[in-house]
Chain A
């Protein structure tokens, strides 16, 4: 009889590995969260070359500081996200980097490297379509604060809206997200997956 193995999608499994076999933990982290973490870094530096290097640096940090993750303080993904974000922000705030950025064009598409895909989860395609239905003014707030690590003050400056509006948009954005990710919208996601124009 086959022995039941851990579902590698479980964070618990990865957290165990961080303690006992950090190299394997990093491998599973990349499989499960690689795209998302790379995106976080890319959205700060807007250069594939730089993002690739920083992603490697961040992964080395996961491996080297594996014993520092404490599950009582928060989710695994949040820990990984913060390491990636800080690695990217440290680089972005250097004078040398700033000087190199003046002539770069501004990109605004989410999928910059579709041709380079290694793996796209079927479930995520439908979810992506559903989530991009959220009004862009809410998505912008989440992007700036959660992905790119802007502070309150920086977000107010960048968006040109008062702090109160930033806060309320953030709350609404998350509530919209949780509605979409909830059960009631599940069939809508399936419908979108099979009925979207190609």
Chain B
């Protein structure tokens, strides 16, 4: 069986969309497990569809995330609450027995009421904690976004996009440099870079007449929206680039570890 012919027949695209028969489906899965080339193509199709959905998707409605997290917290809280015990005692003969049962039921009633209240209180407390954290996060996000907008709107900005080379380390990576010519403030915007492995850091360079000038190392942070990173102003930069170096960086770049590059 010719792998290339199989791939270009389009059967893998139909597989991801559910357009194949049961026997074709099993065949695809068997061949994908046996041939990495086929699995890679399948992954590519899944990824393309995922990107299509993401790019054409509606925004998530307001408050929905908070509602989901509150619901999960409620589930967590209810799973660790004490189990209710059956308060009814074994029957004793006669009036004493009835009285004991009545008394027992009354106690059980108050006991379970208290449990309910405790549960509700815990749930509400958890929900409040969750909402407060969410609120704080949103407030911080907002401030950060306002700062970013102020930087981007500046009319003295010169914007340079750096992108990954098609056959390089990260073809889909993108970053940007906003350099303000009057204030000499320069910002690095990490739009999409893969995370650096332990012991390594990204380093930004300016190319002045072909000579690389160190602009410092940086990390990708875990915030919901990573902030712009302020970097030094380099006069006459012709291009900017990012390489992956040992932690702490190096005085000259390792060009085999180039991730993104762009001309000013």
Contacts and interface: CB of A to CB of B under 8 A. Distances in A.
Contacts of A47: none
Interface residues of A, number: 75
B53 A147 contact: yes
A116 B59 contact: yes
B51 interface: yes
A141 B196 CA distance: 38
B62 interface: yes
Given A10-B195, A152-B18, A170-B13, A36 B57 contact: yes
Interface size class of B (residues with CB under 8 A): 35 or more
Interface string A128-152: 1001100000000110011100011
Interface string B32-48: 00000000000111111
A35 B72 contact: no
B64 A63 contact: no
B60 A34 contact: yes
A122 B152 CA distance: 12
Interface of A: 1-10, 13, 23, 26-27, 30-31, 33-36, 38-40, 42, 48, 52, 55-56, 59-60, 63-64, 74-75, 77-78, 81, 110-114, 116-120, 122-124, 127-128, 131-132, 141-142, 145-147, 151-152, 166-168, 170-171, 174-175, 177-178, 181, 183-184, 186, 190
Task: Give the 9 A-B residue pairs with the shortest CB-CB distance, closest first.
Answer: A7-B195, A117-B59, A171-B10, A127-B55, A34-B60, A36-B57, A183-B166, A39-B57, A35-B57
A146 B13 CA distance: 11
